[in-house]
Amino acid sequence: MRAAGRVRTLRAGERLFMRGDPDDGLYCVLEGAVRVGAASVAGREALLAVVGPAQWFGEVALFDGGARTHDAYAERDATLFHVPRAALLALLDATPAYWHAFGLLLAQKLRLAFDAIEESALLGACARVARRLLLLSNEYGEAAAATHDASRSRLVINVPQEDLALMLALSRQTVNQILRQFEREGLLALRYGEIEIVDAAGLTAQAQ
């Protein structure tokens, strides 16, 4: 699959594809991030995910041959690996066992979607924010050397509070209040454009 793909770069804000576009294959983020979501006629945005490095996306259309289900834009300058649909289908025709790997990728996304629906219906805002932060720390966090203690690392999520609010369908004010509460409790450290998880165990307790 590597031989069939190509590297593609996007500038911040540049469109990759839109809902309704024909399927053009599978993408993996190498550097940067891609926003996946939708917008209403009035301009209101529903943010499904911010896809970070080492994450694949675009697999839904591979299975049903349909159009793109959401819009995808570069959150910031991004480098992607693109495998065209024709090359993917040729690979799968030659090695049908690979369908299992793509099926697992699709099933993982479906599980996350089910979890999000359940959380929205059953959990309070604090627990939903905590769970999403933990999820983002696994999918999109960056381990960086701590400035005050080079012997340990810190887990930093580079997702703006506004994006976090859009992902959870909560107001930015509500998310900000919850994050400030978590910061006072020593669970997080908030800085411009980033959220550092200081106490993952404490945040996990908030997510219950």
Q: From the CB of residue 157, how many other CB atoms can be counted at a distance below 10 Å?
A: 24
Residue at 183: amino acid letter:
E
Element (H, E) at 205: helix 200-206
Give residue 153's pLDDT. Answer: 59
- DSSP lists the bridge partners of residue 189 as 196
Interhelix angle 125-139/98-122, nearest 10 degrees:
160
Give residue 138's pLDDT. Answer: 76
The helix/strand/coil state of 153 is strand
Give residue 201's pLDDT. Answer: 93
Q: Which segments of the chain have a pLDDT < 50?
A: 143-152
